[in-house]
Structure 1
Amino acid sequence: MSTTCAIAAVVPSFLESILNKHSQLKSAEVRFEQVSVYYYPKPSWLGGKPFKALEQLDLAIETQSIAIVGPSGAGKSTLIELLFGLRKPTFGEVFICGYPLSKSSVKQRRELCQHIQLIPQEPQSSLNPYYTVRQILLEPLKNIGQLGDFSEKVERVLNDVGLDISLLERHPQQLSVGQAQRVAIARALIVEPCVLVADEPTSSLDPVSRQQIIDLLIQLKKTRQMRLILVTHDLDAAQTLCDEILVLDKGQVVEHGTSERVAMTPTHSVTRALMNAQYKSNELIKTIGEVSYAV
């Protein structure tokens, strides 16, 4: 999924004022109003029935960090595509900074990307293999029209994610999975967004690296005053990183509440199944660790 952002050549004055306001306040409201996304395996006039990837989603993300959890096929990837204008709703509307995405041009959506950025699920495959880490980090700045020597900014953002500046001249294939994930986070941070969307940021990591990335995201939320939209299967990470948890199943919201409430007293069977699977996974990791230390 490409998240490269560029400044629009011509931005309507009302949109420009919205962006300036949110840039100053470091706030970008994300809102879903009665959003549905349907896919048709075959045309409806041939009797095809819609596959409902999302169904009447109402959600406002203003100042809170929120985790979107659910089993595979629940609609989580569709939600991310909607956020970045990669897909339009069949019904309803998605708003960022109060602006309807379905009525925006590609250039305007790229302008909005200065306020909301994505950490992709597969960091190594999302990094240009022909670019050095330095070039990867400079690319978003160039694409939003910022010119000049950004060496200090690049080094600072790399340090912010816990990497040494000696990695700047390396290529993605020379990085570990954990290092690549941190570079992907740094790439998202360098344009200084106020909303960070993290798509399964710990799924490809070993237990130690997973905890390190969780700790890093906690630190970045505090130091950069950002909100997090976390898309994950990892309920432990969701509870640690987010104020609220929203559970999706078959495109519908089946549970939504504070992280503490959902984790302590889940009310839906899907939530309980996810928690049970998480518990078994944690026990397996613990067992593997004990065996490794024993050996």
Structure 2
Amino acid sequence: MKLSRVTLLQTGIALLAVGSVAAAAAPLSWHLRGHDRVMPPVAQLRTPVAETSGGVDIGPALALAPFGSASAPPQAQVAAPPVDLVLLGVIVRDDPARSLALISVAGTEANFRLGDALTPEVLLTDVAKDHVTIEIDGVSSILSFAGREIDPEAEAAPTGLERLQALATSGSGMTASERVDAAQRAQPTTTQDFINMWRDRISANPAQVLDTIGLVPTDNGYRIAEKHDVGVNRAGLRAGDLVKSVNGQVVGNVDKDRDLYDVVAESGLARIEVERDGQTIVMSFPLQ
């Protein structure tokens, strides 16, 4: 794709506005962590019953078990984890039917929606931000990301650094799992390091950066090109989308863009307005 010469500042805004979103965006959640461990469903906690003041202590009577003791409930059945399933990533949308899971099945990576069959015996039934629920021969199990212990009550969202790490390896043609490994080996260690790294790349060859991600500068913002990095799709964006503003500021004015790049980076929060088919879509995500 042949691009006209663009300024460093305009390209910088495009990277903050679209490049970071291509790594991961809210309300979408895109996580790249391979996993092959299956966990049983989490049991629901019973609501504690309020203690009645002044009641009769029937503990001693119950200890005698005059009516017999209740048998312990059987444990939930857990299906054996398929060794050839690896969870690579998820896109979680407000509409569950539109959520996606990137899963490697016997070494072949593919996207699945709710109700899709991964294998003749395995069905995808739910997609969450840190795991998916599958049904193996009618038994529900949880397939989560590699090396992560799931705390259903407090699971931390990915940091801006993790998102920028994924972005740093975008456009390389690698598989999702290879991108994770490459991101973990990346030299920058802080969010600011990655922002500075992108400034260096933009300064060296801004047209190549735009072409790699798949952005076309226009008078009204930045349009997603027909040929773009796969991370753009995983973030919920698609060809033809137009990024019109960042944090409420219209993109396109060079002087404003100069200040906006640093303002967005330092604020720790990016709010992107995207026009698609005449409708406006708003995406917000943290950079910290």
Structure in which a larger fraction of residues adopt strand: 2
Q: Structure 1-normalised TM-score?
A: 0.26
Structure in which a larger fraction of residues adopt helix: 1
Q: Structure 2-normalised TM-score?
A: 0.26
User: If you compute each CA radius of gyration, which structure gives the higher value, 1 or 2?
Assistant: 2
